[in-house]
């Protein structure tokens, strides 16, 4: 009888209540993932947690690593820590190589290979993935949801956007709203790498897979020189143009 009542009650639930149940299960999963993200026992010898390298709720510690060792920025073996902010909104595949379609597979690799931890349970991977994908981008008050500058954005940000989308050719690879794209590209930086998202980019240096560039100015100059050559463009970008592009990047 009691069982029948429970079933009757479930059947009678209006749709929004079901949706709410789903949201609640997801919130529990995210909570579990957050706890695991801060749990050092995921690593061999309980040395580090995910949050050691991705502090401030999944951001970057701005360091370049081989395994668990910090190496000088620009070391070709090194990989700079990406921010996980906005991870759920990305178009690119995972890792700097940009060739891992599933985030669970990527996180498993990090636990087993980088952190030398034991094989994680499927549920743990799902919870970590749910947490990572729940992380919002940092604040971008001059950006509309589609990734374009708002009307109230400063003039240099708007000029920078026009160059970025226009003659500078950046948008052929960095596609809004996340400013990345599917599929790695070889831009002459030592192989094919993912087109990284440029959201939050003012806070994610050093730049490129190996952390070779300290400043956005250097990264923009490299990218423009590459694009100009590749597209055989007759256009030029002056110092003022590059400053405007950097102003736009800082607004992302």
Q: Residues in the site for ligand HEC, rule: CB under 6 A?
A: 37, 42, 48, 50, 52-54, 65, 68, 79, 81-82, 84, 94-96, 103, 106-107, 110-111, 114-115, 128, 132, 168-170, 172-174, 185, 187, 189, 193, 195-196, 198, 201, 204, 207-209, 216, 219-220, 223-224, 227, 245, 249
- The Cβ of residue 236 has, within 10 Å, a number of other Cβ atoms equal to 9
* Shortest spacing between CB 13 and ligand HEC, in angstroms: 35
Structure-token pair, residue 161: 């956007």
CB-wise, 21 or 76, nearer to ligand HEC?
76
CB-wise, 20 or 26, nearer to ligand HEC?
26
**Displacement of CA 214 from its chain's centroid (Å):** 18
Q: Which of 27, 9, 146, 134 is nearest to 84 (CA)?
A: 134
* Shortest spacing between CB 75 and ligand HEC, in angstroms: 12
DSSP string covering 65-92, please? EETTEE--TT-TT-EEPPP-TTGGG--S
CB-wise, 150 or 222, nearer to ligand HEC?
222
Structure-token pair, residue 119: 């094989």
CB-wise, 25 or 230, nearer to ligand HEC?
230
CB-wise, 157 or 168, nearer to ligand HEC?
168
Structure-token pair, residue 84: 């996980």
Scanning the structure block, which residue is given the tokens 């995910």?
50
Residue 206: asked if its preceding bond is cis (omega within 30°), the reply is yes
The strand pairing partners of 207, in sequence order, are 213
* Shortest spacing between CB 156 and ligand HEC, in angstroms: 14
Is residue 249 within 8 Å of residue 216, measured between CB atoms?
yes
* Shortest spacing between CB 10 and ligand HEC, in angstroms: 35
CA–CA dist 27, 134 (Å, integer) = 10
Structure-token pair, residue 196: 């990284």
CB-wise, 30 or 132, nearer to ligand HEC?
132
Sign of CA pseudo-dihedral 51, 54, 58, 59: positive
CA angle 212, 217, 220 (to 5 degrees): 80
CB-wise, 17 or 230, nearer to ligand HEC?
230
């Amino acid at each position: 009888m009691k069982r029948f009542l429970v079933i009757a009650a479930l059947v009678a639930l209006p749709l929004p209540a079901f949706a709410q149940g789903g949201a609640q299960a997801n919130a529990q999963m995210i909570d579990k993932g957050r706890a695991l993200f801060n749990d050092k026992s995921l690593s061999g010898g309980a040395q580090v947690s995910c949050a050691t390298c991705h502090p401030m709720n999944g951001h970057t510690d701005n360091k370049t690593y081989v395994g668990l060792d910090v190496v000088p920025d620009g070391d070709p073996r090194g990989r700079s820590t990406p921010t996980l902010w906005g991870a759920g909104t990305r178009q690119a595949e995972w890792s700097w190589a940009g060739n891992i379609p599933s985030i669970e597979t990527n996180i498993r690799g990090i636990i087993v290979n980088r952190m030398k931890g034991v094989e994680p349970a499927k549920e743990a991977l799902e919870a970590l993935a749910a947490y990572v994908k729940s992380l919002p981008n940092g604040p971008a008050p001059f950006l509309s949801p589609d990734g374009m500058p708002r009307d109230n954005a400063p003039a240099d940000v708007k000029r920078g956007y026009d160059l970025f989308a226009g003659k500078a050719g950046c948008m052929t690879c960095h596609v809004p709203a996340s400013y990345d794209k599917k599929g790695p590209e070889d831009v002459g930086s030592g192989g094919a790498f993912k087109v990284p998202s440029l959201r939050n980019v003012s806070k994610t240096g050093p730049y490129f897979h190996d952390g070779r560039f300290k400043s956005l100015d250097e990264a923009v100059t490299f990218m423009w020189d590459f694009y100009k050559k590749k597209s055989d463009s007759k256009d030029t970008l002056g110092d003022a143009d590059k400053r405007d592009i950097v102003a736009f990047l800082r607004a992302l």
